[in-house]
């Protein structure tokens, strides 16, 4: 049974086909209607490499304390994406049990 609220937050991800340029902008606008933000992924493997946008993932993320609300928004975004011609690979919702930023650990 799912605990429908959480102490910290649930985090949802909707992963779709890799997007660029105008299509990426379209998806960002669509995701925003449901409170999601699209990740700007950068791929840099070695210190001497230059930064470039990753072509392997495009995903939108949202957070909330209420599972049912976040799940509904996630399902609607996935459906809207499909209706607008985007290929949805997956969606998932995670429960965050601990969230400590690295700079806090280094103090």
Dihedral sign of CA atoms 26, 29, 35, 37 in order: positive
Closest to 39 (Cα-Cα) out of 54, 51, 50: 54
What DSSP line would sit under 41-102, residue for residue? -EE--STTSPPEE-SS-EEEEEEEEEHHHHHHHHHHHHHHHHHTT--EEEEEEEEES----H
Residues of the chain falling short of pLDDT 70:
1-3, 42-45, 51, 53, 55, 102-107
Domain 5-42+52-97 class in CATH: alpha beta
Tens-digit pLDDT profile for residues 60-91: 999 999 999 999 999 999 999 999 999 999 99
């Amino acid at each position: 049974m799912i605990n429908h609220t959480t102490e910290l937050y649930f985090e949802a991800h909707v992963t779709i086909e890799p997007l660029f340029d105008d299509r990426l902008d379209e998806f960002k606008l669509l995701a925003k209607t449901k409170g999601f933000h699209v990740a700007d992924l950068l791929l840099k493997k070695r210190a001497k490499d230059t930064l470039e946008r990753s072509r392997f993932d495009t995903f939108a993320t949202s957070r909330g304390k209420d599972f049912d609300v976040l799940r509904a928004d996630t399902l609607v975004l996935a459906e809207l994406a499909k209706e607008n011609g985007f290929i949805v690979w997956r969606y998932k919702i995670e429960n965050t049990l601990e969230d400590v930023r690295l700079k806090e650990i280094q103090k």
